[in-house]
Structure 1
């Protein structure tokens, strides 16, 4: 990232004012990933098999290829065990736009990579890689060359076992003019990925290892020189750079928002955790005894199972938070603008 030298970090001594947090949308289902557009439109992933279109004038529209009968069946799956542990149904997770403005969807429920037009026409892109089921597809990302990168968290089934085994079976794959291939593997709970401004480094969340890694990017998409960028104080899920060079990170389960400064310092920006349940969570993590029931008992009140963040607004200073168990999208103003994703440039 390009860093503004000789200036004070705008996040030092700054935290989100809870009283200034506003909310967008209502009755959303698993709004895990948020995409913003320059015209002010906000999109969220939705557990009804598609996305929800939102704007600040009150518009809310579900876009999905599924029928009303299908949606009723999805509703029957909407309990903790089915939806969040067994991951049943169609569960759009990470989103990005392709070069035509359609959605690339990493589907946590079907374990597929999909594409959907803005009017709800769905096509499955990938169901397997190297002749094997892909595993828990998590997050897609488009680069400046139009290539699609995506992560798979784990091939462990059920995925919750990986929280205890710490299996390093996560990977990153790339779709380009030559097809699809795995470009890096051996990650512990691969989650979101982001580039720096020049696409020289690819940053990778390793949720179960509590760290952010990064790899250098060759012009052909090969990755090398893997290193740990930062260790963090919880389960990182989503992240985004700001224009100063801070890396904002959501910590799922404990529902905290932190920032890693260019110097490597961790700043707490928003803490919606519960001290007692947080202590229990980390005790079970250390003992490798986490269960779906334990995870289900840990959540905050503002953005339960805080999973992602996205910068938007006309000045890129509005921060939107995605979650797995929330029903609306919290947002607030940042003192520094966010890095523009490729569809903003």
Structure 2
């Protein structure tokens, strides 16, 4: 992390605070969408900070992504299923419980509509013994709208935030319990191969996003900071969450230069009971690239 420094420019601006625990932020149609995990709902926030509840998700929403036809794809953590929301109906589209070892976690949907879903491998909050997780690929057949799913890489240590490059050929994932970010090559069939470590980090990485230079913004959960990590693994910028958990981040806005920072005032013990006060801040950064 040689050369790391606080990010230059004004301090992040508070966008909204009427949230419990914001995860998986996604920019869409002029608003920021996110899973308010411990309020069991998908929500969106407008440019003036007003929070709307989009849909209640009884199985606890985790990763989000938008399919090519505009439907929202939602990973249900507890039932280990994929759901879609078309603006009117919450519909079950894939039951991944038979192939999931832990809980469904964060997810990224690329430009071709391929959903890469993290399976944690174990239930952390339930006190289960750690074991390796995996990444599941789910793809919808455009004719039948049936989803096909299969495991595309194993032995990922608590897969969490993820990103896909603009050309769809590279995939990054935060391995939370291993304190690292890994990169894979994506084959034409969607397999994840040629794994390598991008960055070893001093704390648990949670959500992440990619910018136009190939650098990643990574939320370091318990350390309470957001780091910009270059393609060589070097930390170039640090933004403090001011004593809160640093949960997730994404780049959006009309030019994708607005960095949305999701954090929560809570402890791990309180979070296990669903007690949390979430916030979203914004700041200007290099333009986003790829997905999300």
TM-score (normalised: structure 1): 0.71
Using the TM superposition, name which of 89-98 and 232-241 deviates more.
89-98
Whole-angstrom CA distance in 2 between matches of 1:244 and 1:184: 26
What is the Cα deviation at residue 197 of structure 1? Answer: 2.2
1:330 aligns with 2:281: yes
Matches within 5 A, 1:108-127: 108-119=77-88, 121-127=89-95
1:174 aligns with 2:130: no
What is the Cα deviation at residue 150 of structure 1? Answer: 0.9
Whole-angstrom CA distance in 2 between matches of 1:48 and 1:326: 11
Whole-angstrom CA distance in 2 between matches of 1:65 and 1:251: 28
Match of 1:24 in 2: 15
More strand by share: 2
Match of 2:273 in 1: none
CA contact (8 A) 2:22 2:248 kept: no
What is the Cα deviation at residue 308 of structure 1? Answer: 0.9
What is the Cα deviation at residue 204 of structure 1? Answer: 1.5
What is the Cα deviation at residue 112 of structure 1? Answer: 2.7
Match of 2:55 in 1: 64
Whole-angstrom CA distance in 2 between matches of 1:236 and 1:63: 27
The alpha-carbon distance between structure 1 residues 143 and 254, as it changes in their structure 2 partners (threshold 3 A), is same
Whole-angstrom CA distance in 2 between matches of 1:181 and 1:323: 32
Matches within 5 A, 1:11-50: 15=7, 20-37=11-28, 39-46=29-36, 47-50=38-41
User: What is the aligned-residue RMSD (CA, Å)?
Assistant: 2.5
CA contact (8 A) 1:48 1:90 kept: no
SS of the counterpart of 2:39? coil
Q: Deviations over 1:216-239 (max 9, x none)?
A: 111011222122121111100111
The alpha-carbon distance between structure 1 residues 100 and 251, as it changes in their structure 2 partners (threshold 3 A), is same
- Specify which of 236, 256, 272 is matched with residue 316 of structure 1: 256
The alpha-carbon distance between structure 1 residues 25 and 228, as it changes in their structure 2 partners (threshold 3 A), is same
Q: Deviations over 1:106-153 (max 9, x none)?
A: 22343332222234x212233335x35552101222223222221111
Match of 1:235 in 2: 204
Whole-angstrom CA distance in 2 between matches of 1:12 and 1:253: 18
Whole-angstrom CA distance in 1 between matches of 2:100 and 2:262: 27
Equivalent residues, number: 272
The alpha-carbon distance between structure 1 residues 220 and 209, as it changes in their structure 2 partners (threshold 3 A), is same
The alpha-carbon distance between structure 1 residues 332 and 182, as it changes in their structure 2 partners (threshold 3 A), is same
1:255 aligns with 2:206: no
What is the Cα deviation at residue 14 of structure 1? Answer: 5.6
More helix by share: 1
CA contact (8 A) 2:179 2:203 kept: yes
The alpha-carbon distance between structure 1 residues 268 and 20, as it changes in their structure 2 partners (threshold 3 A), is closer
SS of the counterpart of 2:177? helix
- Specify which of 106, 121, 135 is matched with residue 139 of structure 1: 106
Match of 1:196 in 2: 165
CA contact (8 A) 2:15 2:48 kept: no
Q: Deviations over 1:60-109 (max 9, x none)?
A: 3212247xxxxxxxxxxxxxxxxxxxxxx642122111122222112234
The unaligned stretches of length 5 or more in structure 2 are 142-146, 265-275
CA contact (8 A) 2:119 2:134 kept: yes
Whole-angstrom CA distance in 2 between matches of 1:219 and 1:194: 17
The alpha-carbon distance between structure 1 residues 167 and 65, as it changes in their structure 2 partners (threshold 3 A), is closer
